[in-house]
Amino acid sequence: MKDSKIERIRKDMLTACIKLADLGFLAGVGGNLAVRIDSKLMAVTPSATDYYTMKPEDLCILEINGLKMVEGTKQPTTESGLHASFFSLRPEIEVSLHTHQPLASAVSLLGLDMDIASEEGKKNIGPFVRIVSYAPSGTPFLVRAFRSRIIKETNGYLLRNHGLICGAFTLDQTIANVKLVEKEAARFLRNRIEKNPNLSYMPNAVKDQLLSAL
């Protein structure tokens, strides 16, 4: 498929993946990225492929409705259904990113919605990041759980015991959004540690060391 728009999207996705891998948000072969091409097609990262060795032709072109692969040299990410759901239910979203970033992933273990405190975060993500109930990775069960939680008021979702999925209108804004979520996750965890009565017997030095890590 020789299409200048698709070629540009693939190139931009590779650049974004390297940035995210350098940040530690896409570790090894974990996490995945999708970009809407038009109302019918999306480009997604392949499954089990190192981001530093990925090539443009490795990025898969799929139909949003049905996930039929139109072009690509490898198998698409097993989380393609999550991205397709985001694009289907939020037609204004152009980019969908799933990360395993450390602090947001830690918050996902709590099974709670996470409030957003910063004005920049509220503007670009929304007032909160919504929790999605646990289901095994890459399964229709997780897709259904995610679809049931998608709303217009937030662009960020915590997949319980798993990681984060975040959307935006551009690749740059999506990367900025996951950075914002990581900062908010640090604040959220600090607040819970400081206010947790079960940690009242923890030595202050130990608690301070824990807090300084966030």
Residue 32 belongs to what H/E stretch? strand 32-36
- Structural domains in the chain, CATH included, are 4-212 (3.40.225.10)
What pTM, to 2 d.p., does this model score?
Answer: 0.90
The amino acid at residue 160 is: R
Strand order in the sheet with 32-36: 69-71, 60-63, 41-44, 32-36, 95-99, 163-168, 156-159, 128-132, 114-115
Token pair belonging to 101: 């970033």
Which tokens in the block code for residue 136? 């095994």
- The alpha carbons of the chain give a radius of gyration, in whole angstroms, of 18
> Which among 89, 78, 72, 102 is positioned nearest to 163, based on CA atoms?
102
Helix 204-212 crosses helix 171-195 at what angle (to 10 degrees)?
A: 170
Closest CA to 87 of 20, 142, 165, 10: 165
As separate numbers, helices (DSSP H) first and strands (DSSP E) second, the chain gives 7, 9
Residue 202 pLDDT: 52
Q: 32-64: per-residue pLDDT in tens?
A: 999 999 999 999 999 988 999 999 999 999 999
The DSSP result for 5-23, as a single string, is HHHHHHHHHHHHHHHHHHH
Q: Which helix (H) or strand (E) holds 155?
A: none
Tokens of 82: 């999550």
- Find the range with the poorest average confidence among 46-55, 164-173, 198-207: 198-207
Using the predicted structure, report yes or no on whether residue 163 has a pLDDT greater than 60: yes
Confidence grade of residue 197 (pLDDT, cut at 50, 70, 90): low
- What is the average pLDDT score of the chain? 91
What does the pLDDT look like over 126-137, one tens digit per residue?
Answer: 999 999 999 999
